[in-house]
Amino acid sequence: MNCEEYREAITADPSYDGGAAHLSDCAACQAYRREILAFDKTIAGALTIEVPPLKMPALPEIETHKVVTLKPRSRIVSTWLAVAATVTIAAVVGFRMLATDIVYESLEDEILAHLDHEPAALVVSDKPVSDRRLNRVVPASIATVGHGAGLITYAQTCVINGKDIPHLVIQGERGPVTVLLMPDEKIDAAADLKGEHTRGVLLPVGEGSIAIIGNREESIAPITSSILKSVAWET
Other Cβ atoms within 10 Å of 41 Cβ, number: 11
Report, in this order, helix, strand and coil percent for the chain, each rounded to 5. 40, 20, 35
Cα distance between residue 58 and residue 11, in whole Å: 51
Closest alpha carbon to 168 in 199, 143, 141: 143
| Cα distances (angstroms) measured from residue 55 to each of 58, 117, 213, 233 | 9, 44, 58, 66
How far is C-alpha 77 from the geometric centre of its chain's CA atoms? Answer: 34
Residue 120 DSSP one-character state? G
Between residues 200 and 102, the one the model is more confident about? 200
Q: What is the pLDDT of residues 11-58, one digit of tens each?
A: 777 788 887 888 888 877 788 788 778 777 766 665 565 656 656 666
Q: What CA–CA distance (Å, rounded) separates 107 from 105?
A: 7
Fold of 106-233: Protein Transport Mog1p; Chain A (3.40.1000)
| CA-based torsion, 231, 229, 110, 134: positive or negative | positive
Residue 39 CA, chain-centre distance (Å), reads 11
pTM, rounded to two decimals:
0.59
HSE (CB half, 13 Å, CA atoms) of 135?
4
Higher pLDDT, 183 or 4: 183
What digits encode the pLDDT tens for the residues 57-90?
666 665 555 555 545 554 544 555 555 555 555 5
CA-based Rg of the chain, rounded to a whole angstrom?
A: 24
Report pLDDT digits (tens) over 120-177. 778 888 899 998 999 899 988 888 887 777 899 999 999 999 899 999 999 988 889 9
Among 222, 172, 169, 227, which Cα is nearest to 203's? 227
Strands (E), 116-224: 143-145, 152-160, 163-171, 176-182, 191-194, 198-205, 208-215
Helices vs. strands in the chain: H and E counts, helices first: 7, 8
Length of the chain in terms of residues written? 235
Q: What local confidence, expressed as pLDDT, does residue 185 receive? A: 92
